[in-house]
Structure 1
Amino acid sequence: MVSDRPEVIASSGNNAITCFFHCLKSLFCHNYQDINMQETFSIEQTFFTGKKAFDWLMQKSEQLIIVQFVAPYCPSCETLKPVLHQIAKENTGKLHLVELDMSEEPELAINFGVRSAPTVVFFKKQQIRAQIAGLKSKQQYTDMIQSTL
């Protein structure tokens, strides 16, 4: 009997195949959890993604932390991304760039007064130093970074 449902296979009396599916499922789920739990960061990194990285940086870094709040299907967010990456590369060792998806972290966005994407928030020593909402020129981001370094 061929079926993609383990319960159907089990009812046919073929316990070896059912066992195989359960083992395969637990193997993939277990490895996925291990990967997430073993996530490590380095203070030497420039680019980060997600709330875990942001929280870690807020506790560990004395450097400027630039957080780009993005949203799915946001063309302006995609336009801004390479601009911020280029600026971050030019300032390697002076700052960290973190990308946070507002749809995955709505409470964090609300806590920092972020109402639209893209919004860039600048932190230093666990304090908000500046915020830029919307897509602006590269020079505006560069000037803001230089004034907050």
Structure 2
Amino acid sequence: MTATAAHLREVTDETFAEEVLRSDVPVLVDFTADWCPPCRMVAPVLARIAEQRRDTLKVVSLDVDRNPRTQAAYGVLSMPTLVLFRDGEPARSVVGAQPERRLVEQLGLDEPR
């Protein structure tokens, strides 16, 4: 389990479609890896976002080393990459560890739908 997954539900190549693409609420996917220091830095930020928005947003992690199909399908080359999915489609993304306020702003998490 990755550092991020310690606080977030982990998805896999096998569960991605059900957990992310068919979700009734927006899903923020953290494409992460065990060997990635910035991924460990952003983990507590994502845990806070998940807790604060638990009724309106699902936050999950996907370990790219163990789930290469999903990583390749979305062209993820750098970790961490955060992708916000709405209605089964990628809506916004951010690459790299960011402070919470900046992540929320860049991903449009406070914008009305």
8 Å Cα contact 1:121-1:132 kept in structure 2: yes
* Residue 134 (structure 1) aligns with: 96
> Deviations 1:4-39 (Å, cap 9, x if unpaired)?
xxxxxxxxxxxxxxxxxxxxxxxxxxxxxxxxxxxx
Structure 1: which 5+ runs fail to align? 1-46
Query: Normalising by structure 2, what TM-score?
Result: 0.82
Query: Normalising by structure 1, what TM-score?
Result: 0.63
Q: Secondary structure of 1:146's match?
A: coil
* Residue 42 (structure 2) aligns with: 80
Once residues 148 and 109 of structure 1 are traced to their aligned partners in structure 2, the CA distance between those partners, rounded to angstroms, is 29
* Residue 11 (structure 2) aligns with: 50
Higher percent of residues as helix: 1
Bigger Rg over Cα: 1
Q: Secondary structure of 1:131's match?
A: strand
8 Å Cα contact 1:129-1:148 kept in structure 2: no
Structure with the greater relative contact order (CA < 8 A, sep ≥ 6): 1 or 2?
2
1:50 is matched by which residue type in structure 2?
V
Alignment of 1:25-40 (within 5 A): none
Q: Find 1:92's aligned residue among 48, 54, 72.
A: 54
Displaced runs of 4+ in structure 1, greater than 3 A? none
8 Å Cα contact 1:123-1:130 kept in structure 2: yes
Once residues 123 and 148 of structure 1 are traced to their aligned partners in structure 2, the CA distance between those partners, rounded to angstroms, is 15
1:123 is matched by which residue type in structure 2?
F
Once residues 148 and 73 of structure 1 are traced to their aligned partners in structure 2, the CA distance between those partners, rounded to angstroms, is 36
* Residue 119 (structure 1) aligns with: 81
Structure 2: which 5+ runs fail to align? 1-7
8 Å Cα contact 2:31-2:64 kept in structure 1: yes
Q: CA RMSD in A?
A: 1.9
How many residues were matched structurally?
104
